[in-house]
Every structure is written in C-alpha cells, then in structure tokens.
C-alpha cells in the first residue's frame, strides 16, 4: 500500500466518524434509530465511494456474491463501524448533556 492509499482510507474513516457524530446528535441517543440510520447512511456512503472510486475489475458480473463478499470487510472496517460507534457515543454524550 502506498501512502496515498493510507491517506485515502484514513480520510474515509474520519468522514465516517463525522457522519456518525452528526447522526448521534440527530437521533438524540435513541439506540435503535441510531443503529438503523447509521447502517443506512453508511451503506449509501459506501455505495457512493464504490461508484466514484471503484473500477470495473472490482465487480464481477459472473460472480456477484463473491464480489460483494470481498467488499464486506472494507465496508465494515472503514465505514459502518466508525459511523455506528461514533453515533452511539455522541448520542449517549448528547443525551447526558441534555439531562444535566
């Protein structure tokens, strides 16, 4: 991996965290709503990333299930996990701040 790749992945990770923080504030600490919206938004964000930066060789029309299986790891590690975890932490913090 080149430094450019690492910088790109770090940027995607940070953007996912920022999106998660916005969702945490928007959902006011409701866990079910936060997780559901987090999954939907992260799936949309990942689809936009794949649409923009993906290549034709990444997706096989002959083996679509195998192609999608190879994309699950990057989706979870770079987009879904940071979005949902930050959303839950910020939502909990926002909820406690409102009580005090």
- Domain region containing 50: 13-99
Residue 97 pLDDT > 70, yes or no? Answer: yes
Residue 48 has a pLDDT of 92
In a domain, 55, yes or no: yes
Domain-embedded: residue 74: yes
How far is the C-alpha of 35 from the C-alpha of 39, rounded, in Å? 6
What is the overall mean pLDDT for the chain?
89
pTM of the model: 0.84
Higher-pLDDT residue of 100 and 71 is: 71
pLDDT, tens digit, for every residue of 24-59? 999 987 899 999 999 999 999 998 998 898 877 777
| Whole-Å CA distances, 52 to 32, 46, 77 | 30, 10, 19
Residue 35 in any domain: the answer is yes
Is residue 2 in a domain?
Answer: no
In a domain? residue 79:
yes
In angstroms, the CA 44 to CA 57 distance is: 21
Domain count for the chain: 1
Asked if residue 11 has pLDDT above 90, the reply is yes
CA dist., res. 72 & res. 81, Å (int): 12
Q: Does 6 map to a domain?
A: no
In the predicted model, is pLDDT for residue 100 greater than 70? no
Residues 6+ apart with CB under 8 A from 84: 20, 34, 35, 38, 39, 42
Q: Which residues contact 95 (CB under 8 A, 6 or more apart)?
A: 28, 29
Average pLDDT over residues 78-83: 94
């Amino acid at each position: 991996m080149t430094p450019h790749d690492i910088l790109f992945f770090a940027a995607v990770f940070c953007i996912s965290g920022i999106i998660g923080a916005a969702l945490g504030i928007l959902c006011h600490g409701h866990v079910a709503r936060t997780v559901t919206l987090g999954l939907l938004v992260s799936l949309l964000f990942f689809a936009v990333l794949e649409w923009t930066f993906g290549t034709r060789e990444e997706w096989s029309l002959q083996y679509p299930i195998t192609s999608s299986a190879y994309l699950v790891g990057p989706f979870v590690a770079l987009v879904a996990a940071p979005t949902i975890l930050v959303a839950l932490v910020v939502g909990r913090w926002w909820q406690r701040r409102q009580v005090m």
